[in-house]
Chains A and B, each alone.
Chain A
């Protein structure tokens, strides 16, 4: 069964008396255990889509079916309960945590709210989550302010998998990280997917990142879906100018000196 089905999704913002279309008639589907890369430049609407999907923003029009249910019709306690199935990792590794939080409280909250494990086992589960994302269990008592950006993103991932979701929306989840840490976080995400069959909607402007993790890639521009296909097909044979521009933006490593230039010293 299809895990997620987005149809006709539209959204506009009123800005200075003008109507700005943020999303126009978006159609997307996602299968269980699949990674869909959502590429696009800044302002293309991909973060808006992620936020509507997380029910952080209301949509104007369209429907979203998640696990067979009308996701946009849910509200109140029903929505809060079903949020366990869809989690999110934010870009800003600082802003995504309450500055007063400790690692333990960040991980304990979802376990407590959704009653994932009995109360007595919560501390053990926090330790298990830390261990799963590659952090020492002694980190539980640290303040979120004391740990590095890469470690914070591991905590964010641990928090996202705590409720055992079937979909995680990753909004530029590795964009703020060092290149060296980025690879390790991506590896962790791929491992978790293999282990638990979680589907990812991976939002990024960086095609190099998307190519590394995505099964399929969709490209957005100015609120519209301009191209979608398998990752390989998209990158080897891009059809739209937007996709070509994004591919051209990925830096290539040069081996040896650049060809065709004579240097005069």
Chain B
């Protein structure tokens, strides 16, 4: 609760938190806000926005409700973004912990693998992965996290190496604490917060990657996503630009929200560090 109080104190993180809470609500309540399949044909095609009160954002080429698409697309974007970030951070954290604790040859080997993943452009990696295995939500999540786990791994390793040398770890050794307990109780909880601060950036990047994959037609074809909506609207961009613009705005607002929130989160964690 203290963390949330801290977060609301800075205006940017309050705005970011507001946007994210709103998006989460929209995503969770999508079946209530716009019942039925968002991919069904609901009205006459290419209904202009702001003309029909029952379809405030109009319809697309096939007569599908754009607002319904955006509401349901929020689900996909957030779910894929958060799942990918979670997977990337969990995996990266484990690899970083192993490298930091083991040291020596294990550390060297793991860090060269991390290097390899950092060198490959993450979008190309995801693209290749999805094209080979086929588009479905879990594959997209894995593809995105493949390109994102290297940063948390590197940061975790650096944290472990630095915390290992702190006096409180020496103090734990002095009282005879078992090395496993030192790792779990003294080092791990203190290594985690900076890595978590990284999570928001990874979520934002994951949402963008997911949109880009869908835009290229490599998303799950059975769910509506903002990326696929933009791709759909691209064909008639000149006559009906709103079809691409609305999902584009949704994407921008989401990513900006995540970034603002991450900014606030980083500041909060840094502030708590300064108090210590």
Are A and B part of the same complex? yes
- Which of B11-19, B108-116, B173-181 participates in binding chain A? B173-181
Give the chain A neighbours of B178 by CB distance below 8 A.
80, 113
Complex partner residue of A95 from B166, B176, B185, B186, CB under 8 angstroms: B166
Q: How far is the CB of A110 from chain B (nearest CB, A)?
A: 4
A97 and B171 contact, Cβ closer than 8 Å, known pairs A145-B275, A145-B276:
yes
- Asked if A90 meets B176 with Cβ closer than 8 Å, knowing A98-B186, A100-B189, the reply is no
Q: Note all chain B residues with C-beta closer than 8 A to A101.
A: 168
A-B contact count (CB 8 A): 66
Is there a chain B Cβ closer than 8 Å to A166's Cβ?
no
B131 contacts the other chain (CB 8 A): no
A94→B167 CA distance, assembly (Å): 9
What residues on A are CB-neighbors of B190 within 8 Å? 98-100
For A56, give its contact among B173, B177, B186 (CB under 8 Å).
Answer: B173
> Which of the residues A83, A97, A99 comes within 8 Å of B174, measured between beta carbons?
A83
Residue on B nearest A56 in the bound complex, by CB: B170
B175 adjacent to A83 (CB under 8 Å): yes
Q: How far is the CB of B194 from chain A (nearest CB, A)?
A: 13
- How many B residues touch A, CB cutoff 8 Å? 18
Residues of A with C-beta under 8 A to B173: 54-56, 83
Partner of B176, one of A92, A94, A100, A110: A110
The answer to whether B175 touches A110, judged by C-beta atoms less than 8 angstroms apart, is yes
**Residue pair B175, A96 in contact (C-beta under 8 Å):** no
Asked if A109 CB lies within 8 Å of chain B CBs, one says: yes
Residues of A in contact (CB 8 Å), total 29
**Is A88 positioned at the interface, with any CB of B under 8 Å from its CB?**
yes
- For the residues of B in contact with A, the DSSP-based class is helix
Chain A residue with the shortest CB-CB distance to B272:
A99
A95–B175 CB distance below 8 A: no
Cβ-defined contact, A54 with B174, below 8 A: yes
Given that A94-B276, A145-B276 are contacting pairs, would A113 and B171 also be in contact in the complex, using a CB cutoff of 8 Å?
Answer: no
Q: Which of B167, B176, B275 is A80 in contact with, Cβ under 8 Å?
A: B176
Bound-state Cα–Cα, A190 to B66, Å: 79
B253 within 8 A of A: no
Nearest-neighbour CB distance to chain B for A123, whole angstroms, equals: 18
- Cβ contacts under 8 Å, B185 to chain A: 98
A95 to B168, CA, bound (A): 6
The answer to whether A98 and B168 have CB atoms under 8 Å apart is yes
The smallest beta-carbon distance between B149 and chain A, in angstroms, is: 26
A 145-185 contacts with B by CB, 8 A: 145, 159, 162-163
Per-residue contact bits, chain B 157-177, to A (CB 8 Å; 1 contact, 0 not): 000000000111011111111
- Closest chain-B Cβ to A204's Cβ sits at a distance in Å of 17
Is A142 in contact with chain B by the CB < 8 A criterion?
A: no
Can you name 20 A-B residue pairings with CB atoms under 8 Å?
Answer: A56-B173, A80-B178, A83-B173, A83-B174, A87-B175, A90-B170, A90-B171, A94-B276, A96-B168, A97-B171, A98-B168, A99-B190, A99-B276, A100-B189, A109-B172, A113-B176, A113-B177, A159-B175, A162-B175, A163-B175
